[in-house]
Amino acid sequence: MNPVKELHNHGQAVWLDFLARGFIAKGELKHLVESDGVRGVTSNPSIFEKAIGSSDEYDGAIAKILKDGDRSVTDLYEALAIEDIQHAADVLRPVYDELDGKDGFVSLEVSPYLANDTKATVAEAERL
């Protein structure tokens, strides 16, 4: 038996610590969800840095965002990350529905610069 599926059969919710645009578009995330029982995805700036910097799959999206003018690096990052997270959440929606909202999520970290400011951290999480 598949070891990831076996963990699922023992009550463990396996989350993938990886996200990239092509991974979603090519159906690889969907395959892991449907075949291996992956129940969620974590993401963070480091994961996106690797995904964006290691391929050309973001070039078109970056050009489209910048078509209307310059954007800050933070704005550009958020636009790309949120779009990927929305697509990953679409893939995980059946898990969310099947488990009545107890799993099937995609996480996104708030800025570590807010670590000592609870109000700002909560506001940033709600905004994202």
Tokens of 1: 């038996």
pLDDT-derived band at 46, boundaries 50, 70, 90: confident
Cβ-based neighbour number of residue 29 at 10 Å: 23
Distance CA 42, CA 63 (A): 26
Residues 103 and 96: beta-carbon distance below 8 Å: yes
DSSP for 32-93, please give it. IIIII-EEEE---HHHHHHHHHT-STTHHHHHHHHTTS---HHHHHHHHHHHHHHHHHHHHH
Sign of the C-alpha dihedral, residues 37, 102, 110, 114? Answer: negative
Q: Is the pTM of this model over 0.85?
A: yes
Residues 62-118 have pLDDT tens digits of 999 999 899 998 899 999 999 999 999 999 999 999 999 999 999 998 888 899 999
The answer to whether residues 124 and 111 touch, using CB atoms and an 8 Å cutoff, is yes
pLDDT per position as a tens digit, 92-103: 999 999 999 999
